Structures are given as C-alpha cells and as structure tokens.
Chain A
Amino acid sequence: MISEEEIRKLKKCAIRIRKHIVTMTGLAKSGHPGGSLSAADILTVLFFKKMRLKPEDPQWKERDIFILSKGHASPVLYAALAEAGFFPVEELKDFRKLRSHLQGHPDRLMTPGVEMSTGSLGQGLSVANGVALAFKLDKSPRKVYVLIGDGELQEGQIWEAAMTASHYKLDNLTAIIDYNGLQIDGPVSNVKEVAPVVEKWKAFGWETREINGHDYYQIIEALEWADSVKGKPAVIIAHTVKGKGISFMEGKVKFHGVPPSEEEMKAALKELEEQEKEIENEGV
C-alpha cells in the first residue's frame, strides 16, 4: 500500500512537470500543451514510481522502456526526463529552439532518455511490440510502456500492431490510452468516433482496464494489474482531461496545438503554485 506522503510527493512532482509544460510551450510560442497536461499524472507515476531507470546511465542495460507514441506530447516527456535527472532542467527553456536537443517531437539520437523518435502518429505501438519481442527473446524481465493518444486510435497501424501484440502474447508490454476526448479538429466523437474503446481492444485480444488518469491510486493500481496479466498484452484506458490542472485550459480544443500567451502562462503558473501550497498544507 502506498503512503499518503508518497502520493503527495508524486503530486508535487506532477505540478513541477505541469509548470515546465506551460513554460516550455509558452517560451517556445509553439508546441502542444493540452495533450501534455492530460498525460502528466500518468508519466509522473511511470517515471517516478513504476519504471526501472537510471537517469545517470540512460543506456543502462536493465532499464524499462517508455515510448511516447503521441509524440506531440513531447513537453511532458522532456519535463519528466529533466525532473528525473536525464538532463538539466534549465535546458527545458530551449524547447523547439535552434541548436536545442529538445526537438518539437522526440528524437532518440538527440535527447538522453528518449527511447524512440516519434511524432508521426500510429507507429509507437508497433515499435513497442518490437522491443517487447526482443526482451522476450532475451528472457529479460524488462518491461515496455507505450502512451497512445485517443485521436491516434484513428490510425490504421495501431490496429495492425494491436493484432501483432496479442498474436505474440506480449505480456511484457503495457499500452496506456490518454483518452482526453479531444483532437485538433474538435471532439474525437465528432471528428471520427473511436468508441467503444474498451470493446475494441478486447476484440483485438487485449486485457483492458479503465481508470481515471488523474487519480494516483488508480494509475498505480492499474500498472500493478498490468504486471499481473499473463499471456496477453494489457491496455489501460485512462480517462483524462485535456489541459488538466489549469482551469482555463481544461477541456479546450484550442490548447491541443496552441501554447499559452504570456498572460496565460503567468496565470497558469499562479494556479499551479496555489495547487502546490494546497498539497503542502494537506501534509501538515
């Protein structure tokens, strides 16, 4: 059982990550804050509780692998990697700038801790399958995690890969769907409905679990459940809120690919400061 103190630590870490997301995209005047904020709690649990990693040795032979299939959420990945110590936090301010190693979309050759270059949607699950197959061949206990967007489920390759994963019984692979319900052109249900998501994955031979993707107990428990699934791949359908954590960004399509303005950035950081204080007070 996880302690309340540990949950508070994770929540504070997620707030730092959200601050980085707002600042990075604000300073870059570009990037994708909405879908980064929706995934912040999931990545916090993965990078600061779940995965076996050695930030001081990014190529450590026993590390778990995380692949951000929805590569446009690079700010949340970079923020998590910097907070974990893969590279200095100060470098985040150069996100998307010429000569920075922090490309608009993740680049495995440039950024320590980025396992795969992604950005063109639909490819991350296939890549994750390949890594999981390699680990199976090696009889390695290493695990593979892949985060997929809900709009991304419209890519045909996701379903090719879904079949491959169940065919090869990749129980060392966990997929997480960041189901925030919004894509660039509007609500996913309007653009092209992806529901029923749970039934689709079940039909493709996966074990499924639905959670609130901002509830730490549920995220942690679901990842433990995924470890217990044998002979099948596991998918966690995480219901999330786009822009989560910043009142005026929550549920707004606009913030999929539009960064906060200078005023919005200040207001967002203020909100996050207040949330930080609240968590500290809880602990007293």
Chain B
Amino acid sequence: MKEFEYRHLRDAYGEVLLELGEKYRDMVVLDADLSSSTRTARFGAKFPERFFNVGVSEQDLMSTAAGLAIGGKRPVVSTFAIFATGRAWEQIRQSIAYANVNVKIVASHGGVTVGEDGATHQMLEDFAIMRVLPNMRVLCPADYYETKVVVRKAFETEGPVYIRLSRAKFPVIFDEKHDFEIGRAQIIREGKDLTAVGVGITVYGLLQAAEELEKDGISIEIINSPSIKPLDGETIKKSAEKTGKVFTVEEHSVIGGLGSAIAEYLSQHYPVKMKIHGMKDVFGRSGTAMELLSYYKLDPTGIKEEILKFLESS
C-alpha cells in the first residue's frame, strides 16, 4: 500500500482560525477548557480580546455563543465532539438551531480515533443528533487540506453549522488545491462495480481498499461526502445508477449517520442494494487510534473485507 503523510485536522483548523481572525474582525472564538487540544488556543493568543474560555461548562458555552451572535458577532465554538453535541445538545437545539443564529460549532475528537481515552470520549452519534436538527448543516472533512476549505466555507456561510474533526493524525489524501462546497460530494475515483461513499478517515480507507480490490479485478467508484447535511444525493444517485450497488462507511454509528442519510435519499429516489458500514450499534473502547480502526474494520483491510462480503451477498 501507498505511503501517506499524516497530519492533524485540528492543526489545519487552528491555522484557518488565525487566517479568518485576521480577515474578519467580528469573528470571536469560544472554548470550554480544551483550547490546547482543539487548537483554538492559537487564536486566543493572537486575538485575546476576541477569545472566550468559559471553563468546563459546555451548556453555557453554546448559549453564550448564541448570545454573541445575537450581539452581532460571528462566533466559532470548540470543544470535544462528545461534550459539544452530547452535553449541550439541547442548548444547540434551542439557542442555536431553533433561534437560527450564526454560530459555527467545530468539534474535535469525533469517532473512535480518539483512542486510549475510550468509549466515554469517543463520539459516535454526533452526525445523527446534529443532522436531525432543522437549520443545522453537518460537515466532516477527510484530511488536513479538506479541513481548511471546509472551515473557511462554513465560516463564510450564514447560519448554524456543525463540523466534526478528530484527535488523531489522518493521512493526507488531498492537496492545497482541494475544493469543497457545502452540499456537494465528489467522485474521487471512478469505477463501475460498486459505489462506495465515505466521510472523514474512511475516505482514505476506501482509497486504499479500492487499490487492493482493483488487483482482483473489482472496480470501485469512490465518493467523498464531507457534507452529510445537506447531502449531495444527486451525485450519489447518478453513481448508483451506473454501479447498481452502494456501500457506505463512516467512523460513526450505523444508525443515523451518513449511511442513513444516503439510505433516506436513495430509498425515495433510486432504491438500490446498500450496505451501511460503521460502528455497529456499539460503544467504542480503549486502544490506539489505528488499532481501533482495525478492530472495528474501519481501516483499509477491514473496509476491503466488508466490501467483499457485500459484493458476495448481493
């Protein structure tokens, strides 16, 4: 398999915050005592008057951000995904989504790649519980470069957005020319036997698995879908019309995430045989990020196995 450079998505986030902070003087950043982990600390050091650490109080964090938006600022809020979307879900629902205020929630530490901290800190349900909120957009970049463009585009879009980032370093699969639009998916590898849609770290897994499968004469079309909501159903449908089969994979529960969003779309517009791969209605556990990806079959080898099983059964 090909060698990849590994970089933190949250480093890209920290760098984009500095760039946006320079450009937009009405931008403010909030954190809840995790600013060194989420990488908002760099913004805080450069623009201390526009950085607010509210301590370990995520509910207060979300509603305070809503208030800053009401007061005419453009807030970006960070903490770990579990605390952002779990602890403060109702504050996000009432004070951000229902009030439809211009708040960007950028959460680090999504998925099992949180690693050793274990299940309590591995958020596997955030796509589901953010996606279900009216007015909320849900994005998840696949690598360092995609993070930059996703955060920029989200910031420059009015209204509530949730972005999931990760703790672990991810393989770099794109470059600085990589582009992204909210609501758009991209075919990043063409194929004819199967449509495989991934998000986040699993896009790398799919790319690697597809290389291997090609050796066995299996041709996989890969779609990168960082915009979980709004979903680019049309691009996925067109690919499904060509291949007749859709495999989805995400570092998230198989319930309610990207796979579910695609199933909701295709079942109504182009019913097709599907396999939703992800965390199979289980909590995670401790281990290194890479061990966990392998354990839950979300690494290239695991994804390849799951694809083969799907192809054999369909």
Contact = CB atoms under 8 A, between A and B. Distances in A.
A36 B99 CA distance: 22
Given A123-B94, A130-B70, A135-B71, A157 B60 contact: yes
A218 interface: no
Contacts of A131: 67-68, 70-71
A116 B60 contact: no
Interface stretch (B2-10, B47-55, B298-306): B47-55
B91 A123 contact: yes
B67 A164 contact: no
A107 B70 CA distance: 13
A128 interface: yes
Report, as a range, how many residues of chain B touch the other chain: 20 to 34
Interface string A124-152: 10111111111101100000000000000
Report, as a range, how many residues of chain A touch the other chain: 20 to 34
B208 interface: no
Contact of A128 (B59, B67, B72, B75): B67
A138 B65 CA distance: 16
B273 to A, nearest CB: 42
Given A130-B70, A134-B68, A119 B63 contact: no
A107 B52 CA distance: 27
Interface string B215-236: 0000000000000000000000
Nearest to B75: A130
B252 interface: no
Contacts of B95: 116-117, 123, 126-127
A65 interface: yes
B50 to A, nearest CB: 7
B60 A160 contact: yes
Given A134-B68, A137-B28, A157 B98 contact: no
A120 B27 CA distance: 27
B69 interface: yes
Interface in B33-91: 49-50, 52, 54-55, 57, 59-60, 62-73, 75, 90-91
A262 B310 CA distance: 66
Contacts of A124: 63
Nearest to B66: A127
A77 to B, nearest CB: 15
B221 to A, nearest CB: 41
Given A116-B70, A137-B73, A138-B72, A161 B60 contact: yes
Contacts of A120: 90, 94
Chain A interface mostly: helix
Interface in A34-93: 65
Given A137-B49, A160-B57, A126 B90 contact: no
A65 B70 contact: yes
Nearest to B32: A160
B64 A119 contact: no
B288 interface: no
B32 to A, nearest CB: 10
B99 A129 contact: no
B260 interface: no
A260 B209 CA distance: 68
Contacts of A156: 59
B186 interface: no
Contacts of A133: 28, 52, 64, 67-68, 71
Contacts of A117: 94-95, 98-99
Contacts of A122: 59
B57 A164 contact: yes
Interface in B117-157: none
Contacts of B49: 137
B60 to A, nearest CB: 4
Nearest to A69: B63
Contact of B73 (A108, A128, A134): A134
Given A117-B94, A137-B50, A127 B63 contact: yes
A129 B64 CA distance: 6
A163 interface: yes
Given A123-B91, A127-B66, A160-B55, 15 more contacts: A109-B100, A117-B98, A119-B94, A123-B63, A126-B60, A126-B67, A131-B70, A131-B71, A135-B71, A137-B50, A138-B71, A157-B57, A161-B60, A161-B64, A163-B57
Interface of A: 65, 107-109, 115-120, 122-124, 126-135, 137-138, 156-157, 160-161, 163-164, 167-168
Q: Which A-B residue pairs are the 9 nearest by beta carbons? A: A130-B67, A134-B71, A126-B63, A160-B57, A160-B60, A127-B67, A131-B71, A130-B68, A130-B64
27 contacts: A107-B98, A108-B70, A108-B99, A116-B67, A116-B95, A117-B94, A118-B94, A126-B60, A126-B66, A126-B67, A126-B95, A127-B95, A129-B64, A130-B69, A130-B70, A130-B71, A130-B75, A131-B67, A131-B70, A132-B67, A132-B71, A135-B71, A138-B72, A157-B60, A160-B54, A161-B60, A164-B57
